[in-house]
Structure 1
């Protein structure tokens, strides 16, 4: 019963988790789904199936016992990231977001991160070369 509740929480988190536009080939959802499948689904093999011809036991990774409290704590942490609880609890001040040494740094960084996923290969190479060759 507890496994199904934890499993439902994980599935809800994964459906609401945002996709990474900068690295679409690396998916947090897929990595978490593999982890959930190995931790929460029962193992299809019986330990007796791991006996080889000479009656020696083959070494297989042992499944860690299910810890409901620990899994629910991990679910709570994922929910806190999903809901931006830490951003709401500890908001960044204007002074932090606009350092005296380079006030426009974070604005330029956000602009660059928003443009990067839609940039073509040629555009990426031009941007890279502009970074190498600075004429000022």
Structure 2
């Protein structure tokens, strides 16, 4: 693996935002970390799968929000007339979910089952 590829993967690892909802075993950081050469000697060398240049370019594009700037969402799509706060509520729920304890999850589920408004 070339030094430039290692530097690009390290840059992506350092700047990629963590996802509090997704398990660490399937995160982008874990995927990229598995593509870096290990510094400690292993008992059995496992075959390292190289990451393609196209994959690195795609991840860099996503990190820089290149597609969001090139193809911005129209306001009507972001805030539909039927429920203008829907996507804001989804984002708020994703931010609150990791910190919720067992009883908080049970209460949230019961409130979802029995909506009286």
The aligned residue for residue 30 of structure 2 is: 30
The Cα offsets for residues 55-110 of structure 1, whole Å up to 9 and x where unpaired, read as xxxxxx8x77x6xxx82222111111111111111111111111122222112112
Q: How many pairs does the alignment contain?
A: 111
RMSD: 2.7
Residues 38-117 of structure 1 aligned to structure 2 (within 5 Å)? 71-117=52-98
Cα distance between partner residues in 2 of 1:92 and 1:111: 20
Cα distance between partner residues in 2 of 1:3 and 1:71: 12
The aligned residue for residue 9 of structure 1 is: 8
Runs of 4+ in 1 over 4 A off after TM superposition: none
Cα distance between partner residues in 1 of 2:67 and 2:73: 10
Q: Provide the secondary structure at the position in 1 that maps to 2:14.
A: helix
For normalisation by structure 1, the TM-score amounts to: 0.68
Cα distance between partner residues in 1 of 2:24 and 2:105: 18
Which one has a bigger Cα radius of gyration?
1
How much has 1:24 moved relative to structure 2? 4.7
For normalisation by structure 2, the TM-score amounts to: 0.77
Q: Any stretches of 5+ residues in structure 1 without a counterpart?
A: 39-43, 46-60
